[in-house]
Amino acid sequence: MRVALTQFEAAFVAAVPALGVVEVTTVTVPELDGFELLSGAERDEVFLAVEYGIRQLQAVQAEMITVARHGTSIYSDGHRTLPAWVRAVLNSRPGRAKHLADVATMLAEMPVTADLHRQGLLGDDQLWQLTRLHANPRARPQLPASDRLLAQMACDLRYSDFVRACQRWLGYADPDGEHHDHASAVNERSVTTRRLGHRGELILRTDALTLEAIVEILNAHAEGEFLTDVETNKQRYGDDADMNPLPRTAAQRRADAAITIFFKAQSTLNAASLQLVVNLLTTAHDLTTFIHDAYNTGTTPTPTDHDTTWIDDDSNTADVPNGDRDDDDDDSTFIPDEEEGDEDVTDIIGDVGGDEET
């Protein structure tokens, strides 16, 4: 397998421009029969060698695009722009053609980065980050001075760390850019809704700070939906709940959480639609004392929408029609008649000395 690898590496000879003629060496693909037998570092080395070869050819391709940019042949063929020529030749989508042209432009202005790319040490993801910096008109003039620094970080750092390094570099290179970009994002905020048959889409565009706050609220509601699913599984499967999947996926729970947020907000628009629930925790003794004091002192209006029952201090009861209460009778206490299906009120009033919570 090592022999095949050596032949493979040797096959990637850079395109050699000579007298206007470009000679491209045919690539010999290594046999894969022995690759499945490799493991560990040797397997990774072989796989990475293929990636290095691809990057080297991409570096040659970028240099070809730069040469074509400064020439006239592509325009003589009727292509209006460089990306249009790349798209036509490669039969690619417009986005990829523009990306290849932008990478070539960036590499032409950053020789250290271009040299490392030619060696296969820089991948397309790192080049994409550098191309984003190059696309910023306020940061572009400062890129050549940081060519060596950024190229070295692109080689040494993990991709996620390199992304943060590029963001920090941009913050120093364009200190007003973040404020400008934030203001632009705020001004361009929008909400779009689309109905696609039986499906619907809601697209919100806003600034990053507002999005961060919205995501925090959404995650809190999604966590509530997750706990609901966990409890549902416990009730459904008992001790085997952990062995069964939750009824909803994470994406479905987030969608339900967003819908819940909207419906909660809708209820605040109409005060009449609000339903307040008040839970009072007290003892039977305190409740009896409160009812006795309230109605005997006349601080609470007497209900008149149903028949009433009176209980005097001797626990004697009497039915009194609506509105027939004698307010001068200080020795009696008003309670409503027991509705059908309700608890017997006298059961609560009678247990004056109890301490049970109701």
Q: Which two tokens stand for residue 224?
A: 């509530």
Residue 266 — pLDDT band, cuts 50, 70, 90?
Answer: confident
Residues of the chain above pLDDT 90, percent: 42
Q: Report whether 344 contacts 270 (CB < 8 A).
A: no
Average pLDDT, the chain: 77
Give the tens place of pLDDT for each residue, 45-81: 888 888 998 999 999 999 999 999 888 888 888 888 9
Q: Report whether 133 contacts 170 (CB < 8 A).
A: yes
**β-bridge pairing 16-18 and 308-312:** unpaired
User: In which residue are the tokens 């074509």 written?
Assistant: 68
Q: How open is the CA angle 161-165-170, to the nearest 5 degrees?
A: 150
Average pLDDT over residues 92-107: 93
Average pLDDT over residues 266-280: 65
Q: Report whether 338 contacts 344 (CB < 8 A).
A: yes
**Span of 223-227, 246-250, 323-327 with lowest mean pLDDT:** 323-327
User: In which residue are the tokens 């996926």 written?
Assistant: 249
Overall pTM > 0.85 = no
Average pLDDT over residues 231-240: 92
User: In which residue are the tokens 């620094």 written?
Assistant: 149
